[in-house]
Structure 1
Amino acid sequence: MNESQNKDGQRRSRRLALVLAGGVVGMVALSYAAAVFYQLICREAGLGGATQIAQEVPDKTFDRTITVRFDTAVQPDLPWAFYPVQREIKVKVGENALVMFRAENKSDEPVMGQAVYNVTPDKIGPYFFKVACFCFDVQTLAPHEVADMPVSLFLDPKLLKDRNADDVGVVTLSYTFFKASTQPTQVSEAK
């Protein structure tokens, strides 16, 4: 093999390595974005227990009471603890409830996280509304910071007209925190 053929082979190998590395980087980026895209699609289509977003709360509450339980998870690459302050609440249909979740950054670096959520049973999703939620935005916690994160929610009175929902007495609101795809940059202090 002459020198020219050897250089062409090396160029092809480098080009292939770059293409493969780009493919791996793209797949990793897509895997991080998949959870957020899935949540957006489900919320817009009302699928898979996606909750709704409201600008205002109903002006009347009703006698039917439903227990809302809270379930939390954190993906392994996010160094946070995350849990509900209360494990469950009882809420009347149409009543606005405020619940708190607590997150703690267990690392020595600032870290950004994004929560995705759903409710079960899925058939309650169209009637489960949030007025305010930490899950609407990326959250940043400083090193070892502990933060209380509120959620304002209610069950839409239209639930009372859905005969398929008559058997529902318990609803579970689940959150999973993922490490955000962009992270804060570290600024080193001059000493």
Structure 2
Amino acid sequence: MLRTLTVFLFSIFLSIHVSTAKAVQSGKYKVINTDGFVQHEGKRTQLETKRKPGLATVEHAPDDSLFLDINGSTIRLFPIENGLAALKWNSQGTTLLHDTDVLALIEVGDPSNVAAWGADLAWPDTIRTQLVLFTLSSNAFAGFLVSETEGKTIVRQMEFRQVFGPSNRPHTSTHSNVAAKTR
């Protein structure tokens, strides 16, 4: 598994390009760690997730890279050629998003039409850490932070959202609809 994740993440950085469409809005986002696991000696153990949202700011650069400011640190993420189609991950046996989940959520049939960005990060006490983000909608994206330490791989799944709740929710409240029906 460690080899699979390493190959997956290494391959995305070999395919970086500069023509990904600006599929995500610049601005402030709420960030939630939604899932994760630690893999050690071939065994995966689910991480406990804290549902308290953090805040991040996303800004587009002229070369279509993204600047992600989170917890006072700014990370530059570069566009990945072929988007989601360039990313392969093994979420088997976990509740992490699968590539088919992402395609179903955003109703896109071709994974190369899902914009993605990635970067290697300097992270304390790790051999290698990489961050990959991909679009879910114009105001939401998801991603994985994958860290390798001596003998362990730690995977965290995150969601970034500008709007919480169903995107197709009507603009009138339930209370106002009930009042209108009783008149």
Q: More relative contact order in 1 or in 2 (CA 8 Å, sep 6+)?
A: 1
TM-score, L = length of structure 1: 0.31
| Rg larger for | 1
